[in-house]
């Protein structure tokens, strides 16, 4: 069974940093792209960042470009999101999700998703 478990969320100060992790199991991690999606309280879904299976290609939403860094450690089947210069508007539940297509050079549908980890940015 494919499982994705996020961790690392919590309270951060404006301007601060936080690193999220997503530990994967049940599939060959390095053969799938991975994506981070966030959801602010009471709001809809916002695509944040994605990374290819090898880690050689990364993609960012304009809202986080230059502040967030996505990476992966395929030897540990773990995805990361380093967040810096945090703002109040970054407050959200952050989900990691697996791409739907094996060895794809493009990003596709997302399945499955982890349970999410809450990041709160507040002084």
Partner 1 sequence: DIQMTQSPSSLSASVGDRVTITCRASQRIISYLNWYQQKPGKAPKLLIYAASSLQSGVPSRFSGSGSETDFTLTISSLQPEDFATYYCQQSHSFPQTFGQGTKVEIK
Interacting residues with partner 1 (CB under 8 A): 35, 37, 44-47, 50, 59-62, 95, 100, 106-116
Closer to partner 1 at the Cβ: 12 or 110?
110
User: Is the CB of residue 78 less than 8 Å from the CB of residue 92?
Assistant: no
Q: Taking the CA atoms of 40, 44, 48 and 54 in sequence, report the sign of the dihedral they define.
A: positive
For the bound state, the minimum distance from the C-beta of residue 111 to partner 1, rounded and expressed in Å, comes to 4
- Please identify, using beta-carbon distances, which residue of 53 and 114 lies nearer to partner 1: 114
**C-beta of residue 22 within 8 angstroms of C-beta of residue 29:** no
Q: Which residues fall within 8 angstroms of residue 34, CB to CB, at 6 or more apart?
A: 22, 24, 50, 51, 72, 79, 96, 97, 98, 99
By C-beta, is 41 or 123 nearer to partner 1? 41
Question: Taking the complex as a whole, how short is the minimal distance between the CB of residue 114 and partner 1, in angstroms?
Answer: 6
State in angstroms the smallest separation of the CB of 42 from partner 1. 11
């Amino acid at each position: 069974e494919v499982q994705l478990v996020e961790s690392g969320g919590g309270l951060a100060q404006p301007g601060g940093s936080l690193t999220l992790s997503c530990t994967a199991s049940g599939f060959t991690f390095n053969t799938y792209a991975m994506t981070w999606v966030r959801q602010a309280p009471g709001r809809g879904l916002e695509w944040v960042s994605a990374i290819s299976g090898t880690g050689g290609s990364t993609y960012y939403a304009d809202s986080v470009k230059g502040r967030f860094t996505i990476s992966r450690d395929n030897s540990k089947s773990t995805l990361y999101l380093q967040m810096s210069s945090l703002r109040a508007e970054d407050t959200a539940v952050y989900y990691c999700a697996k791409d739907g297509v094996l060895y794809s050079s493009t990003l596709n549908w997302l399945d499955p998703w982890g349970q999410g980890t809450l990041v709160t940015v507040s002084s």
